[in-house]
Structure 1
Amino acid sequence: MDEPDRWRHMASAPKDGSRILVTVRPSEQGPAEVDLAYWSKGDQFGAEGWRASDSSPGCVIEYAEPELKCWMPMPSANRSRASMPLPWEGDDAEEFGGLGI
């Protein structure tokens, strides 16, 4: 991860349970946003997949693959909240089925 402040395609996101920043696509519920997420292997609270880091037993927030646009590693602890990256708003490299309905 030689360029920590660069958005990357979700296909390259780590699925080892480490927390990463993700761009959540805009939808009927609101504009694009950045969230902290991790890959869960699945457990009694939900299936394998991407979860918001503020999930808890009984209130699991899961993201379907097409909901997440891109990812980047967690920034260093020395950054201020004001320097949080903005959601990536560029064109997608590939079309995801079902979006834009």
Structure 2
Amino acid sequence: MEEPDRWRHMRNAPRDGSRILVTIRPTEQGPGAVDLAYWSNGDQFGGEAWRSSDSAPGRIIEYAEPELKCWMPIPSADPDRMSLPSPWKGKDTQELEVDGSGI
């Protein structure tokens, strides 16, 4: 069984609507960050895309594929660790490389 608290390439992220943690790439607007997101097959509010779990009808937060660096399953509850993991800050490797810069 794979270790759950490990960042993984976005191409392997589940597209079944389940919530996952994602690392958002750093941009001119700010540093990399972690968000809770899910894949949406599209609806009356937007097309197929990764959406932040903070989204609400009329206020959809969507991420383009190049904006997301990697993902991990939501860690199980652990009272000794009550914070989100840090964003993945390593250099892109073959395993985590995403085509295009997103700009």
Residue 86 (structure 1) shift: 0.4
- Asked if 1 retains the 8 angstrom alpha-carbon contact of 2:69 and 2:98, the reply is no
Looking at structure 2, the residues matched to 98 and 19 of structure 1 have their Cα atoms a distance apart, in angstroms, of 25
Residue number in structure 2 paired with 1:16: 16
Partners of 2:41 and 2:49 within 8 A in 1: yes
Partner of 1:86: 86
- Report the CA distance between 1:27 and its aligned residue: 0.5
Query: For residues 5-47 of structure 1, what are the alpha-carbon distances to aligned partners after superposition, in whole Å with 9 as ceiling and x for unaligned?
Result: 0000000000000000000000111100000000000000011
Aligned structure 1 segments of 4 or more residues deviating by more than 4 angstroms: none
Give the % identical residues. 70
Q: Distance in 1 between matches of 2:47 and 2:60?
A: 10
Residues 1:76 and 1:95: Cα distance change in structure 2 (over 3 Å): closer
Number of residue-to-residue matches in the alignment:
99
Counterpart for residue 7 of structure 2: 7
| Residue 95 of structure 1, CA deviation | 5.4
| Structure 2: tracts of 5 or more residues without a match | none
Question: Where do residues 15-94 of structure 1 align in structure 2 (5 Å cutoff)?
Answer: 15-79=15-79, 80-82=81-83, 84-93=84-93, 94=97
The unaligned stretches of length 5 or more in structure 1 are none
Change (3 A) 1:48 1:95: closer
